[in-house]
């Protein structure tokens, strides 16, 4: 039996127990000070849906009066920066 292709589907679903404030704080801690906690960034940014990531961006800006993308760009480099 042939399968029917129905178009692309998102592979990242909403993260259960999601809290934009908890995630924004964890990201902030991961990029503050010397070094970067890349594991935390990967875990948060790859396991949240696009809608959830947008809420994290808004919460981060509200809490820290900084743009998340600017803070990430200032802390990351090379291929890791490009992927994020």
Q: Show the CA angle centred on residue 15, arms to residues 6 and 58, nearest 5°.
A: 105
Which pTM was predicted? 0.79
What is the predicted pLDDT for the residue at 6? 65
Label residue 5 by pLDDT band (50, 70, 90).
Answer: low
Q: What is the pLDDT of residues 16-71, one digit of tens each?
A: 999 999 999 999 999 898 888 889 998 998 899 999 999 999 999 999 999 998 88
37 within some domain: yes
12 within some domain: no
Q: What is the CATH number of the domain that holds 38?
A: 1.10.220.10
- 5-14, 40-49, 73-82, range with greatest mean pLDDT: 40-49
61-65: long-range contacts (C-beta < 8 A, 24 or more apart)? 63/21, 63/24, 63/25, 63/28, 64/24, 64/28
Other beta carbons within 10 Å of 78: 7
- Whole-number Å distance between alpha carbons of 48 and 77: 22
Q: How many domains does the chain have?
A: 1
What is the predicted pLDDT for the residue at 82? 47
5 within some domain: no
Expressed as residue numbers, the domain containing 49 is 20-83
70 within some domain: yes
């Amino acid at each position: 039996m042939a399968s029917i292709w129905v178009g692309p589907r998102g592979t990242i679903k909403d993260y259960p127990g999601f809290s934009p404030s908890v995630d924004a704080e964890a990201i902030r801690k991961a990029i503050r000070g010397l070094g970067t906690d890349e594991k935390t960034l990967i875990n948060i940014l790859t396991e949240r849906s696009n809608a959830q990531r947008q809420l994290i961006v808004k919460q981060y800006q509200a809490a820290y009066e900084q743009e998340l993308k600017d803070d990430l760009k200032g802390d990351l480099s090379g291929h890791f920066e490009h992927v994020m």
